[in-house]
Amino acid sequence: MRRLLRPTGFVDSPFGHDGKVARLAGGLNWFASVEVLTVEDGRRVAAELVPVEGIEHRFDDDLAARWTALTAPRAPLQLGERTIRLDQPQVMAILNATPDSFSDGGQFADSSAAAEAGARLAGEGAAIIDVGGESTRPGASIVWEGDEIERVEPIIRQLAGGGAAVSIDTRKATVMEAALGSGARLINDVSALTFDPRAIDVVAASGVPVVLMHHQGAPESMQDNPRYVDVLVDVYEWLEDRIAAAEDAGIKRSQILVDPGFGFGKSVAHNLELMNGLALFHGLGCPIVLGASRKRTIGALSNEAPADSRLGGSLAFALKAVEQGAQLVRVHDVPETVQALKIWRGLRDQALTPRP
Protein backbone atom coordinates (compact mmCIF):
# COMPACT_ATOMS: atom_id res chain seq x y z
CA MET A 1 0.00 0.00 0.00
CA ARG A 2 1.17 3.54 -0.73
CA ARG A 3 -0.31 7.02 -0.63
CA LEU A 4 -0.12 9.76 -3.26
CA LEU A 5 -1.02 13.46 -3.04
CA ARG A 6 -3.09 15.33 -5.60
CA PRO A 7 -3.39 19.10 -5.05
CA THR A 8 -6.93 20.42 -5.35
CA GLY A 9 -9.07 23.20 -3.94
CA PHE A 10 -7.25 25.83 -6.00
CA VAL A 11 -7.70 29.44 -4.87
CA ASP A 12 -7.02 32.69 -6.69
CA SER A 13 -4.89 34.30 -4.01
CA PRO A 14 -3.01 33.38 -0.83
CA PHE A 15 -3.84 36.70 0.84
CA GLY A 16 -5.78 36.31 4.06
CA HIS A 17 -5.20 32.55 4.05
CA ASP A 18 -1.92 32.26 5.97
CA GLY A 19 -1.21 28.64 6.77
CA LYS A 20 -4.31 27.49 4.90
CA VAL A 21 -2.93 27.38 1.34
CA ALA A 22 0.27 26.20 -0.32
CA ARG A 23 2.04 27.25 -3.49
CA LEU A 24 2.24 24.62 -6.21
CA ALA A 25 5.75 23.93 -7.52
CA GLY A 26 6.82 27.53 -6.97
CA GLY A 27 4.41 28.73 -9.65
CA LEU A 28 1.35 30.96 -9.83
CA ASN A 29 -1.13 28.41 -8.48
CA TRP A 30 -2.21 28.05 -4.85
CA PHE A 31 -4.20 25.17 -3.37
CA ALA A 32 -6.14 24.75 -0.13
CA SER A 33 -6.46 20.98 0.06
CA VAL A 34 -5.02 17.74 -1.20
CA GLU A 35 -6.64 14.48 -2.13
CA VAL A 36 -4.74 11.73 -0.34
CA LEU A 37 -5.03 8.68 -2.58
CA THR A 38 -4.49 5.23 -1.11
CA VAL A 39 -3.12 2.86 -3.75
CA GLU A 40 -3.02 -0.92 -3.59
CA ASP A 41 -1.89 -3.20 -6.42
CA GLY A 42 -1.74 -0.24 -8.80
CA ARG A 43 -5.29 0.92 -8.15
CA ARG A 44 -6.85 3.72 -6.08
CA VAL A 45 -8.82 2.10 -3.28
CA ALA A 46 -9.56 5.16 -1.13
CA ALA A 47 -9.41 8.95 -1.30
CA GLU A 48 -9.52 11.49 1.50
CA LEU A 49 -9.76 15.25 1.07
CA VAL A 50 -7.41 16.90 3.56
CA PRO A 51 -7.04 20.65 4.20
CA VAL A 52 -3.59 22.17 3.79
CA GLU A 53 -3.88 23.75 7.23
CA GLY A 54 -2.11 21.46 9.69
CA ILE A 55 -1.38 18.85 7.05
CA GLU A 56 2.23 18.43 8.15
CA HIS A 57 1.03 16.69 11.32
CA ARG A 58 -0.37 13.86 9.22
CA PHE A 59 2.85 13.11 7.34
CA ASP A 60 5.08 10.10 7.61
CA ASP A 61 8.48 10.35 5.91
CA ASP A 62 7.11 9.22 2.55
CA LEU A 63 4.29 11.77 2.46
CA ALA A 64 6.63 14.50 3.70
CA ALA A 65 8.88 13.83 0.70
CA ARG A 66 5.89 13.95 -1.67
CA TRP A 67 4.75 17.23 -0.12
CA THR A 68 8.21 18.71 -0.69
CA ALA A 69 8.07 17.53 -4.31
CA LEU A 70 4.67 19.21 -4.77
CA THR A 71 5.69 22.56 -3.39
CA ALA A 72 9.39 22.96 -4.27
CA PRO A 73 10.06 25.53 -7.03
CA ARG A 74 11.11 24.13 -10.39
CA ALA A 75 14.49 25.38 -11.55
CA PRO A 76 14.56 27.27 -14.85
CA LEU A 77 15.71 25.42 -17.96
CA GLN A 78 19.06 26.56 -19.29
CA LEU A 79 18.99 25.90 -23.04
CA GLY A 80 22.29 27.24 -24.28
CA GLU A 81 22.23 30.98 -23.74
CA ARG A 82 18.44 30.97 -23.26
CA THR A 83 16.89 30.70 -19.80
CA ILE A 84 13.32 29.38 -19.71
CA ARG A 85 11.61 30.22 -16.43
CA LEU A 86 9.25 27.60 -15.05
CA ASP A 87 7.55 29.70 -12.38
CA GLN A 88 4.95 30.51 -15.05
CA PRO A 89 3.50 28.49 -17.95
CA GLN A 90 5.41 28.53 -21.23
CA VAL A 91 4.60 27.50 -24.80
CA MET A 92 6.56 24.84 -26.67
CA ALA A 93 5.87 25.13 -30.41
CA ILE A 94 5.53 22.02 -32.58
CA LEU A 95 7.56 22.15 -35.80
CA ASN A 96 7.26 18.90 -37.75
CA ALA A 97 9.56 18.33 -40.69
CA THR A 98 7.60 15.23 -41.69
CA PRO A 99 5.40 14.22 -44.61
CA ASP A 100 2.89 12.32 -42.46
CA SER A 101 2.30 13.94 -39.06
CA PHE A 102 -1.37 13.78 -38.12
CA SER A 103 -2.01 17.53 -38.27
CA ASP A 104 0.74 19.32 -40.18
CA GLY A 105 2.62 16.68 -42.17
CA GLY A 106 4.12 17.93 -45.43
CA GLN A 107 3.50 21.56 -44.54
CA PHE A 108 6.95 22.84 -45.52
CA ALA A 109 8.55 22.68 -48.94
CA ASP A 110 12.12 22.56 -47.59
CA SER A 111 14.24 23.07 -44.48
CA SER A 112 14.56 26.82 -45.04
CA ALA A 113 10.79 27.24 -45.09
CA ALA A 114 10.52 25.15 -41.92
CA ALA A 115 13.23 27.19 -40.17
CA GLU A 116 11.52 30.44 -41.18
CA ALA A 117 8.28 29.10 -39.71
CA GLY A 118 10.11 28.20 -36.50
CA ALA A 119 11.57 31.70 -36.24
CA ARG A 120 8.08 33.10 -36.73
CA LEU A 121 6.74 30.88 -33.93
CA ALA A 122 9.47 32.14 -31.62
CA GLY A 123 8.53 35.69 -32.53
CA GLU A 124 4.91 34.89 -31.73
CA GLY A 125 5.85 33.94 -28.19
CA ALA A 126 6.95 30.30 -28.16
CA ALA A 127 9.68 29.80 -25.56
CA ILE A 128 10.93 26.58 -27.19
CA ILE A 129 10.72 25.28 -30.75
CA ASP A 130 10.34 21.47 -30.76
CA VAL A 131 11.63 20.09 -34.06
CA GLY A 132 10.65 16.58 -35.14
CA GLY A 133 11.56 14.48 -38.16
CA GLU A 134 9.53 11.34 -37.46
CA SER A 135 5.78 11.11 -37.02
CA THR A 136 4.69 9.16 -33.95
CA ARG A 137 0.98 9.49 -34.67
CA PRO A 138 -1.13 6.34 -34.25
CA GLY A 139 -0.25 3.91 -37.03
CA ALA A 140 2.98 5.65 -38.04
CA SER A 141 5.96 3.59 -39.21
CA ILE A 142 9.56 3.95 -38.05
CA VAL A 143 11.72 6.37 -40.07
CA TRP A 144 15.34 5.50 -40.86
CA GLU A 145 17.59 7.64 -38.68
CA GLY A 146 19.52 8.96 -41.68
CA ASP A 147 16.32 10.39 -43.18
CA GLU A 148 15.32 11.81 -39.82
CA ILE A 149 18.66 13.58 -39.41
CA GLU A 150 18.46 14.96 -42.94
CA ARG A 151 15.06 16.44 -42.14
CA VAL A 152 15.89 18.09 -38.80
CA GLU A 153 19.56 19.01 -38.84
CA PRO A 154 19.45 22.07 -41.14
CA ILE A 155 16.33 23.40 -39.41
CA ILE A 156 17.88 23.14 -35.98
CA ARG A 157 21.12 24.72 -37.13
CA GLN A 158 19.34 27.72 -38.64
CA LEU A 159 17.00 28.22 -35.67
CA ALA A 160 19.71 27.83 -33.03
CA GLY A 161 21.99 30.10 -35.02
CA GLY A 162 19.28 32.73 -34.89
CA GLY A 163 19.06 32.51 -31.09
CA ALA A 164 15.99 30.30 -30.67
CA ALA A 165 15.77 27.70 -27.91
CA VAL A 166 15.41 24.42 -29.78
CA SER A 167 14.46 20.93 -28.66
CA ILE A 168 14.64 17.74 -30.71
CA ASP A 169 11.66 15.40 -30.75
CA THR A 170 13.22 11.98 -31.35
CA ARG A 171 13.57 8.46 -29.96
CA LYS A 172 16.94 7.70 -31.56
CA ALA A 173 20.39 8.23 -30.07
CA THR A 174 22.07 9.01 -33.38
CA VAL A 175 19.47 11.66 -34.15
CA MET A 176 19.91 13.10 -30.66
CA GLU A 177 23.66 13.39 -31.23
CA ALA A 178 23.22 15.09 -34.60
CA ALA A 179 20.64 17.49 -33.21
CA LEU A 180 22.81 18.40 -30.23
CA GLY A 181 25.70 19.02 -32.60
CA SER A 182 23.45 21.37 -34.59
CA GLY A 183 22.38 23.41 -31.55
CA ALA A 184 19.40 21.64 -29.95
CA ARG A 185 19.53 21.97 -26.18
CA LEU A 186 16.62 19.83 -25.00
CA ILE A 187 15.64 16.27 -25.89
CA ASN A 188 11.96 15.33 -26.09
CA ASP A 189 11.64 11.55 -26.27
CA VAL A 190 8.15 10.09 -26.63
CA SER A 191 9.55 6.72 -25.55
CA ALA A 192 11.09 8.10 -22.32
CA LEU A 193 14.50 6.73 -23.38
CA THR A 194 13.23 3.16 -23.85
CA PHE A 195 13.28 2.88 -27.67
CA ASP A 196 17.04 3.12 -28.25
CA PRO A 197 19.38 1.46 -25.71
CA ARG A 198 22.02 4.16 -26.29
CA ALA A 199 19.69 7.11 -25.81
CA ILE A 200 19.87 7.28 -22.02
CA ASP A 201 23.68 7.45 -22.11
CA VAL A 202 23.64 10.12 -24.82
CA VAL A 203 21.37 12.30 -22.70
CA ALA A 204 23.44 11.72 -19.56
CA ALA A 205 26.68 12.62 -21.34
CA SER A 206 25.18 15.74 -22.93
CA GLY A 207 23.91 17.26 -19.69
CA VAL A 208 20.89 18.77 -21.46
CA PRO A 209 17.33 18.52 -20.10
CA VAL A 210 15.10 15.68 -21.27
CA VAL A 211 11.34 15.16 -21.47
CA LEU A 212 10.28 11.65 -20.48
CA MET A 213 6.89 10.87 -21.97
CA HIS A 214 4.60 8.01 -21.03
CA HIS A 215 3.41 5.72 -23.80
CA GLN A 216 1.79 2.33 -24.02
CA GLY A 217 2.92 0.31 -27.02
CA ALA A 218 4.56 1.45 -30.25
CA PRO A 219 3.01 4.11 -32.52
CA GLU A 220 2.12 1.41 -35.03
CA SER A 221 -0.30 -0.26 -32.61
CA MET A 222 -0.66 1.91 -29.50
CA GLN A 223 -4.32 2.76 -30.12
CA ASP A 224 -5.35 -0.88 -30.55
CA ASN A 225 -7.53 -1.19 -27.43
CA PRO A 226 -5.21 0.33 -24.77
CA ARG A 227 -5.89 -0.95 -21.24
CA TYR A 228 -4.90 0.13 -17.73
CA VAL A 229 -5.64 -1.04 -14.21
CA ASP A 230 -5.94 2.63 -13.16
CA VAL A 231 -4.64 5.01 -15.80
CA LEU A 232 -3.73 7.84 -13.42
CA VAL A 233 -1.78 5.55 -11.09
CA ASP A 234 -0.30 3.47 -13.92
CA VAL A 235 1.11 6.52 -15.69
CA TYR A 236 2.39 8.04 -12.44
CA GLU A 237 4.22 4.88 -11.40
CA TRP A 238 5.60 4.28 -14.91
CA LEU A 239 7.04 7.80 -15.01
CA GLU A 240 8.38 7.32 -11.49
CA ASP A 241 10.30 4.25 -12.72
CA ARG A 242 11.64 6.09 -15.77
CA ILE A 243 12.85 8.99 -13.61
CA ALA A 244 14.68 6.49 -11.40
CA ALA A 245 16.26 4.84 -14.44
CA ALA A 246 17.37 8.22 -15.77
CA GLU A 247 18.90 9.17 -12.41
CA ASP A 248 20.68 5.82 -12.22
CA ALA A 249 22.22 6.62 -15.62
CA GLY A 250 23.56 9.94 -14.33
CA ILE A 251 20.82 12.34 -15.42
CA LYS A 252 20.07 14.90 -12.72
CA ARG A 253 16.46 15.08 -11.58
CA SER A 254 16.64 18.86 -12.09
CA GLN A 255 17.15 18.12 -15.80
CA ILE A 256 14.11 15.84 -16.13
CA LEU A 257 10.64 16.89 -17.29
CA VAL A 258 7.65 14.54 -17.48
CA ASP A 259 4.79 14.24 -19.96
CA PRO A 260 1.80 11.95 -19.25
CA GLY A 261 1.56 11.16 -22.96
CA PHE A 262 -1.91 12.38 -23.87
CA GLY A 263 -3.08 10.22 -26.80
CA PHE A 264 -0.15 7.79 -26.74
CA GLY A 265 -1.80 4.46 -26.03
CA LYS A 266 -4.89 5.95 -24.39
CA SER A 267 -8.60 6.00 -25.09
CA VAL A 268 -10.67 9.17 -24.91
CA ALA A 269 -11.69 8.25 -21.37
CA HIS A 270 -8.05 7.67 -20.38
CA ASN A 271 -7.02 11.07 -21.76
CA LEU A 272 -9.80 12.87 -19.92
CA GLU A 273 -8.99 11.12 -16.65
CA LEU A 274 -5.34 12.14 -16.98
CA MET A 275 -6.32 15.75 -17.64
CA ASN A 276 -8.63 15.84 -14.62
CA GLY A 277 -5.90 14.39 -12.38
CA LEU A 278 -2.91 16.17 -13.94
CA ALA A 279 -1.88 17.93 -10.71
CA LEU A 280 -0.97 14.53 -9.22
CA PHE A 281 2.16 14.44 -11.38
CA HIS A 282 3.71 17.34 -9.48
CA GLY A 283 4.40 14.72 -6.83
CA LEU A 284 7.17 13.42 -9.10
CA GLY A 285 9.10 16.63 -8.43
CA CYS A 286 9.65 17.43 -12.11
CA PRO A 287 8.19 20.06 -14.45
CA ILE A 288 5.13 18.87 -16.38
CA VAL A 289 4.83 19.04 -20.17
CA LEU A 290 1.36 18.59 -21.68
CA GLY A 291 0.78 17.95 -25.38
CA ALA A 292 -2.94 17.75 -26.19
CA SER A 293 -2.96 20.12 -29.15
CA ARG A 294 -5.32 19.02 -31.96
CA LYS A 295 -5.42 15.46 -30.60
CA ARG A 296 -8.09 12.95 -31.58
CA THR A 297 -9.91 13.27 -28.26
CA ILE A 298 -10.91 16.81 -29.25
CA GLY A 299 -12.43 15.50 -32.45
CA ALA A 300 -14.21 12.73 -30.59
CA LEU A 301 -15.85 15.30 -28.31
CA SER A 302 -16.76 17.74 -31.09
CA ASN A 303 -18.56 15.88 -33.88
CA GLU A 304 -15.33 14.46 -35.33
CA ALA A 305 -13.89 17.89 -36.14
CA PRO A 306 -10.80 17.45 -38.36
CA ALA A 307 -7.35 18.15 -36.93
CA ASP A 308 -7.11 21.65 -38.38
CA SER A 309 -10.45 22.61 -36.78
CA ARG A 310 -9.61 21.79 -33.17
CA LEU A 311 -8.30 25.13 -31.92
CA GLY A 312 -11.04 25.63 -29.34
CA GLY A 313 -10.50 22.22 -27.82
CA SER A 314 -6.73 22.67 -27.86
CA LEU A 315 -7.05 25.95 -25.92
CA ALA A 316 -9.45 24.33 -23.45
CA PHE A 317 -6.94 21.59 -22.68
CA ALA A 318 -4.04 24.07 -22.48
CA LEU A 319 -5.91 26.19 -19.95
CA LYS A 320 -6.98 23.11 -17.98
CA ALA A 321 -3.31 22.12 -17.80
CA VAL A 322 -1.97 25.47 -16.61
CA GLU A 323 -4.80 25.75 -14.06
CA GLN A 324 -3.23 22.63 -12.54
CA GLY A 325 0.28 24.03 -12.69
CA ALA A 326 1.66 22.52 -15.92
CA GLN A 327 4.82 24.39 -16.82
CA LEU A 328 4.97 23.71 -20.57
CA VAL A 329 2.16 23.26 -23.10
CA ARG A 330 3.22 21.82 -26.45
CA VAL A 331 1.03 23.25 -29.22
CA HIS A 332 0.51 23.81 -32.93
CA ASP A 333 -1.40 27.09 -32.63
CA VAL A 334 1.18 29.34 -31.01
CA PRO A 335 -0.21 32.90 -31.20
CA GLU A 336 -3.67 31.81 -30.07
CA THR A 337 -2.25 29.82 -27.14
CA VAL A 338 0.13 32.61 -26.17
CA GLN A 339 -2.80 35.03 -26.13
CA ALA A 340 -4.88 32.65 -23.99
CA LEU A 341 -2.01 32.31 -21.51
CA LYS A 342 -1.53 36.07 -21.40
CA ILE A 343 -5.16 36.45 -20.37
CA TRP A 344 -4.73 33.69 -17.80
CA ARG A 345 -1.56 35.39 -16.54
CA GLY A 346 -3.38 38.72 -16.30
CA LEU A 347 -6.03 37.12 -14.13
CA ARG A 348 -3.37 35.58 -11.91
CA ASP A 349 -1.42 38.83 -11.63
CA GLN A 350 -4.55 40.69 -10.56
CA ALA A 351 -5.40 38.02 -8.01
CA LEU A 352 -1.85 38.13 -6.64
CA THR A 353 -1.81 41.94 -6.33
CA PRO A 354 -2.49 42.92 -2.70
CA ARG A 355 -5.60 45.01 -2.30
CA PRO A 356 -5.06 48.44 -0.72
Active-site residue numbers? 295, 330
For 207: left if phi > 0, alpha if psi spans -120 to 50, otherwise beta; the answer is: left
Q: What is the three-class DSSP state of 17?
A: coil
- Tell me if 152 sits within 8 A of 168, measured CB to CB: yes
Radius of gyration of the chain (CA): 20
Distance of CA 202 to the CA centre of its chain: 21
Residue 128: name the closest of 163, 98, 99 by CA: 163
Q: Give the pairing type, strands 30-40 and 22-23.
A: antiparallel
* Spatial separation of the C-alpha atoms in residues 114 and 95, rounded to whole Å: 7
**What size, in residues, is the chain?**
356
Q: Which helix (H) or strand (E) holds 66?
A: helix 61-71
